[in-house]
Structure 1
Amino acid sequence: MPFFDDSLLEDRAALGRADEMLRRLAQAGARIRTESDQAVDGLSSVADLPRPRAVIAAGSEARLIRAMLEPTCPVPFLAWPRHGLPGWVGALDLVVVLATDGADANLIATAREAVRRGSQLIIACPQPSAIAEHAVGRDTVMLPTRTGDRLAAAVVVLAALHRMQLGPEVNPDAVADSFDRVAEDCSPYVDVSENPAKDLALGLAEAQPLVWGGSVLASRASRRVAEALRAASGRAALSADAGELAPVLASVTRKDLFDDPFEDPPPDERRPALVVLDDGTADQLTSAEQNRLREVADAADIRVCLVQQTVGADLDRYAALLQTGLYGAIYLSIGLGRVI
């Protein structure tokens, strides 16, 4: 079982072995700016489109689009997980397709069906690509993509939907700036005492991560972060709502004061750590749930790792929480010696 070596977080050779992963995270803001520049013509054309009867989104990050639009969208919204389209979709509806790889057979079928039915179609995809060929039509708005970054494409699509007055304001430059700030704060060259991602890795060094986000967007970020932590550590990492996590935390017995702190516990006895993703949502329910989880964790002597971002628009805060968690996962894998 790998032992977490915190000295590796400041070791240039160890950090260098993760350079490709760290560099990709650091370039997230640049990818958003690239996709936004590519989509200038498409973004300028959507403001004149009529308001649709309903919006149907398909493809990568469709659920993020739903999380952003549902609270304020003036028309019904559906995230569609299968190929094709629901039977009721027609010429009065808007179909949004995110297809950054350009060759997904299910999304090609969805785009082709939207064109056949005469629906408005906004599609983010590479040009040229197989799906771009099937999406050509008089009611199609193309948002060309180049980077293959699903989140970057989603940011541009959200900006387009805002211009159609279907969703909240999304400024791609502001989201990119948020990514850049995280890249600076979580840089491998920033000492662990000032680096929130390295601090998160230290908090999870020997723990079983339980990840919670209170708002809709923070909850989505928690699922992505849990996936990254599982891949980084080879351990189970659970993302769930407060009602599911509280019983898990409550079932943990307090530490024995005489336990050897240097003994690596068996996998089935590894203590959990609670990772709280706080995006500043201050409604009463979210605050109460966070307080409840903290109280249960404190009663069981469980470490709480707080990742907080309370400044900026909704998507800016989501981006910062997600990116900090992804950096933390990479540093966890470095400390565990899993990056070779």
Structure 2
Amino acid sequence: MFFDSALDDTNALSVIDPVLRDIAGWGAEVRRAGMAAADALAEIDRDDRPRAVVAGGPNGRLFRAVLEPICPVPFVAWPHTGLPGWAGPLDLVIVVCPGGVGEEELSAVAEARRRGCALLVAAPVDSPVYDAAQGRGTTFVPAGSLDPTAVAVPVLGALHRMGLGPETDAPAVADALDDVAERCGPGVPSDRNPAKELALVLADANPVVWGGSVLAARAARRVADALRSASGRPVVAGDDDQIVPLLQAAPEPDVFADPFEDGATAARPTLVILDDGAEESSGGPARARLEAAAEQGSVRVQQVRAVDGPGIGRFAALLATGRFAAAYLALGLGRPA
């Protein structure tokens, strides 16, 4: 059973206050990371273009999602130990380690130094990763936050200065996150709060989350993880080829079922579309297929939009909205947020 009233009840909301404060503070984390890196970014000049860029460690896939469509050289995310066998002196290796200690990050840095690769490293000053990266050919960005996405913003700014990525402005990303916090905060009523609205829509549903662009698809996977943890239900994120069959196979809705009887109805899917303003998310063929399949299967469709600001800002705004919604969903279901 889902307790709708809890989403606008001050006492009930106090239970998840630490979680909500953490999400609302994401913009401040981005600002701190940007300020910590400002001096280092100002000293970066566009140098010779590398043969390829390798993002090592567990945070590489986010950089691939931002850079792969526009990077003028081949880009590889390498979430494994070490580096690809072909990486060498002509290549740039990116390593982001907000905590300054990480086995995969240290392995990537050590291997890059051994092979003579150029390095772009973000980590706390005087940390093990910082110490391991020191040397000629290393560009160091001080990590001003423990949040990987926040630290990724100034690293993307560094890559832009190197001529390898889009312009990324930390204040603009922080503003996008602050806007989500303002619109999705606990004091905003459910009828005007996108995150509470999404939680209400998903109260008795199995979410199916789709993002059309590369960044929106990555946000979809992380939102699905948050919703799965919040609800304890199966939550799917994937591309249209994976999701369309699920929508077409949705059980017929039973208009006579009593929602208060245990086991009266099986949870049906609800399609959650994350729209970051990219053509693929806003109106491409994949989205048309999904919406047609949802209509055929009488599946509800709920859209979450974040179409202003830089790409990483839209990604973060979609993810923040999903995190808020997951917290409210857990509260309504009486589960830990």
TM-score, normalised to structure 1, is: 0.94
Q: 2:119 aligns with which of 98, 118, 121?
A: 121
SS in 2 for 1:87: coil
Q: Deviations over 1:43-73 (max 9, x none)?
A: 1232243221111101243111111111111
* Cα distance between partner residues in 1 of 2:280 and 2:305: 16
Question: Which residue does 1:315 correspond to in 2?
Answer: 312
Q: 1:275 aligns with which of 268, 272, 276?
A: 272
Question: Which residue does 1:153 correspond to in 2?
Answer: 151
Contact in 2 for aligned 1:186/1:195 (Cα 8 Å): yes
Question: Which residue does 1:24 correspond to in 2?
Answer: 22
* Cα distance between partner residues in 1 of 2:117 and 2:44: 14
User: Which residue identity lines up with residue 170 of structure 2 in the other structure?
Assistant: P
Question: Which residue does 1:303 correspond to in 2?
Answer: 300
Contact in 2 for aligned 1:60/1:150 (Cα 8 Å): no
Give, in angstroms, the shift of residue 285 of structure 1.
9.7
SS in 2 for 1:307: strand
Judging changes above 3 Å, is the alpha-carbon distance between structure 1 residues 222 and 190 closer, same or farther for their aligned structure 2 residues? same
Identity %: 48
Q: 1:288 aligns with which of 267, 285, 289?
A: 285
Find out whether 1:181 has 2:179 as its counterpart: yes
Q: Deviations over 1:309-336 (max 9, x none)?
A: 2223322221211111111011101111
Single out whichever of 303-312 and 163-172 deviates more from structure 2.
303-312
Contact in 2 for aligned 1:17/1:339 (Cα 8 Å): no
* Cα distance between partner residues in 1 of 2:14 and 2:90: 53
* Cα distance between partner residues in 1 of 2:44 and 2:116: 16
Matches within 5 A, 1:91-170: 91-170=89-168
Task: State the Cα RMSD in Å.
Answer: 1.8
Q: Deviations over 1:78-99 (max 9, x none)?
A: 1112111223222221110011
Contact in 2 for aligned 1:73/1:166 (Cα 8 Å): yes
Judging changes above 3 Å, is the alpha-carbon distance between structure 1 residues 274 and 284 closer, same or farther for their aligned structure 2 residues? closer
Single out whichever of 256-265 and 174-183 deviates more from structure 2.
256-265
User: Which residue identity lines up with residue 84 of structure 2 in the other structure?
Assistant: P
* Cα distance between partner residues in 1 of 2:77 and 2:187: 40
Q: 1:84 aligns with which of 82, 85, 94?
A: 82
* Cα distance between partner residues in 2 of 1:4 and 1:11: 14
User: Which residue identity lines up with residue 11 of structure 2 in the other structure?
Assistant: A
Contact in 2 for aligned 1:212/1:277 (Cα 8 Å): yes
Question: Structure 1 unaligned runs (5+)?
Answer: none
Contact in 1 for aligned 2:195/2:328 (Cα 8 Å): yes
TM-score, normalised to structure 2, is: 0.95
SS in 2 for 1:95: strand
